Structure 1
């Protein structure tokens, strides 16, 4: 029969603080990983339910700023693109990062929007990141994305007052910022496509 001062007998389930901490951290990691899988899908290519963006009328004037088209961005092959080449086109401008879960969640919809507007000369998708080209190229290839991505630096982010990702803007043919949206959204809806097409057909 065990003695009363036998600590092993008194506390058969005693666990050290270090073990508890390790178990807690493991649970947090597993939970975060599971949440990531639920949000962005097995390989980041699956769609998740996202809210449709609230759209103003394409003919409605706006009190937002007008972009001056100064500066340039660089594609993933290192070729510089002057922003002035966007004049006269409707621009879907999206600031994103490959480490940003909300950005990843909306990219499948943006890929579909890219394919839906591929035959339109008046609508341009411009996805901008500050990451290095090789990291983005690897990310894109793994998910089979082919929408245009450009590398930019802080002056462009500052021009649009971007403080968090994702941030999306729509520019009309004269550079007027007609629409802005902070956060992930569903961009491949018929309503949003019609909005872009209406802007492209509106000279003002």
Structure 2
């Protein structure tokens, strides 16, 4: 005997609404604490901003079909190495499919940390509507700045240079 869909669908829907309603709603605001990540690293482990506490974090949202995103990656790779004492670059891939992020990063020689946001929860928290979009997070966890659109090498270098020696 098949269970009637009405007997389980409504309780399941109500349960999901209550569960989601209990989630803390976070949105990005410059000057406020940075919203938590709801993303996983490429090995499947949950990523948190706490991993990089004590350094500036350049949180860079990107997609595999975004030409500007891919053009920034070699510069971000170089800067991530040159400023490793004060800053960490963290890529947030926004592709919703089972795209092979690892292969693309390998092809581009990108070694800085990358996480996946396939459910778009982190994008929603940071109010990302297009890529590339990046956020600068201070060592104390506060959101310092937001950058929308492709950044040229000189712009990125200036952002990174301003953080050197400025520990919160």
Question: Normalized against structure 1, the TM-score is what?
Answer: 0.59
1:190 positional shift: 4.7
Tell me which of 64, 67, 70 is aligned to 1:104: 70
Closer, same or farther: CA 123–133 of 1 in aligned 2, 3 Å? farther
Match of 1:84 in 2: 50
User: Is the 1:76–1:133 contact (alpha carbons within 8 Å) kept by the matching residues of 2?
Assistant: no
- Please list the CA deviations of residues 104-160 of structure 1 after superposition, one character each: whole Å capped at 9, or x if unmatched: 111111111112123x1x422111013357611111122222121111232211111
* Residues matched between the structures, number: 137
**Structure 1 unaligned regions, length at least 5:** 1-62
Match of 2:93 in 1: 129
C-alpha root-mean-square deviation of aligned residues, in Å?
A: 2.3
Match of 1:148 in 2: 113
Match of 2:158 in 1: 191
Q: Distance in 2 between matches of 1:181 and 1:91?
A: 13
Match of 1:166 in 2: 132
Q: Distance in 1 between matches of 2:34 and 2:108?
A: 34
Closer, same or farther: CA 160–65 of 1 in aligned 2, 3 Å? farther
1:89 positional shift: 2.6
Question: Normalized against structure 2, the TM-score is what?
Answer: 0.70
User: Is the 2:57–2:137 contact (alpha carbons within 8 Å) kept by the matching residues of 1?
Assistant: yes
Q: Distance in 2 between matches of 1:128 and 1:100?
A: 13
Match of 1:47 in 2: none
Secondary structure of the residue aligned to 1:170 is: strand
User: Is the 2:35–2:125 contact (alpha carbons within 8 Å) kept by the matching residues of 1?
Assistant: no
Q: Distance in 2 between matches of 1:114 and 1:79?
A: 22
